[in-house]
Amino acid sequence: MNAILTQKGGSRAVAIWLLVGVGMIMIQVLLGGITRLTGSGLSITEWKPILGTFPPMNEQDWLAAFDQYKQIGQFKHINFDFTLSDFKFIYFWEWFHRVWARLIGLVFLFPFIYFIWKKQINGEMVIPMIILFLLGALQGALGWIMVKSGLNEDNLYVSHIRLAIHFMAALGLLCYTLWFSFQLLIPESARIFQPAVKKNMHFILGILVLQLIYGAFMAGLKAGSFAPTWPTMNGQWWPEGIADAKGSFFITDNPITVQFIHRGLAYLMTALIVAWYFKVRKISLSGLFSKYSHLPLLLVVLQVVLGILTVVYSTNAATLLWLGVSHQFVAMLLLMSLVFMTYLLRGQRAGDRG
């Protein structure tokens, strides 16, 4: 790792740059959530990486964009009563979401060139950074592939499977960037060697990834509104219709089943983090790990509370917007806290350090 860093001041500047990128990616994910919750995702029916940076500039252009939107099923079956003003509202959120993605690309590209020129990073970091750029480009392509699934007369929304892929790719990019910043900011001496604790953390991370996928399914299928009650689902512990396939794969396509699994994974993850935390407390540890080991516990409790409220208010569009975005935000914080713990647990046995 030391070979990647050319000078202390430079490494800190690079780390700050990466953390700015982390913050911008988080905002991008939240903008995606707002875009989804406001039903804005299909408002722009073309993908123009360069020209698409600018919104319609006059009334004629706005009417042309609106006419394109009128050709798809979402307008014909759901938003048929939209005025041009209504269309401008949903267009703004999708446009802002796309423009912010382009801005992220620029924020990564130009400082990267500057740091190369100033020799603040060396050749060993170039390939990982190219991978980062490729992941960003892939994320944009996945976003368009997702949008295309709803640009027809048959589908009223984008595919929830493609939505989940787009969402998880964004979180992967977030964690990849965050990990780089840890490598630049956190010294080797701050990491600890606790293989059993690390193994448990890896398992919790795996459960969280599955939970996040089902969270995307929940959003794409609008599954919360199918059982907006708690602690039971429509008054039942084992909801009616949970195993109905209805011509599709019920564990991914049945809204009741998806919500049931999402709830179950939330309870499981909470129990695992509580058990992990009390296990850690019995170990005499110090430093960053000891100082921040409580974060996953606090965040998972907050996340469960927000999840319950999001489901209960899923039929109230205005309340759902802010609860849903808050739920998504805390999910990212929880993921980042687990990644942070994982990084700190990658220390070597004292005798193996060299």
**290: confidence class by pLDDT, cuts 50, 70, 90:** confident
236-245, 249-258, 316-325: range with lowest mean pLDDT: 236-245
- Cβ–Cβ under 8 Å, residues 121 and 6: yes
**Interval 294-322: pLDDT, tens:** 999 999 999 999 999 999 999 999 999 99
What span, in angstroms and rounded, lies between the C-alpha atoms of 121 and 170?
A: 25
Instruction: Tell whether the model's pLDDT for residue 139 goes beyond 50.
Output: yes
- 261-264 contacts: CB < 8 A, separation 24 or more? 261/214, 262/211, 262/214, 262/215, 262/217, 262/218, 262/223, 263/233, 263/307
Instruction: Choose between 238 and 244: higher pLDDT.
Output: 238
What span, in angstroms and rounded, lies between the C-alpha atoms of 347 and 243?
A: 45
**Interval 93-114: pLDDT, tens:** 999 999 999 999 999 889 888 8
How many angstroms separate the first and last alpha carbons of the chain?
Answer: 13
Burial, 342: exposed, middle or buried (Cβ in 10 Å; 0-12, 13-18, 19+)? middle
**What was the pLDDT predicted at 116?**
83
**What was the pLDDT predicted at 6?**
38
Contacts of 74 (CB under 8 A, 6+ apart): 39, 42, 150, 156, 157
**Interval 56-80: pLDDT, tens:** 999 999 999 999 999 999 999 999 9
What span, in angstroms and rounded, lies between the C-alpha atoms of 236 and 291?
A: 42
Give whole-number Cα distances, 222 to 19, 155, 201, in Å. Answer: 32, 14, 31
Give whole-number Cα distances, 227 to 10, 29, 114, 302, 328, in Å. Answer: 53, 26, 52, 21, 19
- Taking the C-alpha atoms of 178, 20, 288 and 304 in order, what is their torsion angle to the nearest 10 degrees? -70
Enter the tokens of residue 317. 């569009």
**347: confidence class by pLDDT, cuts 50, 70, 90:** confident
Instruction: Tell whether the model's pLDDT for residue 83 goes beyond 90.
Output: yes
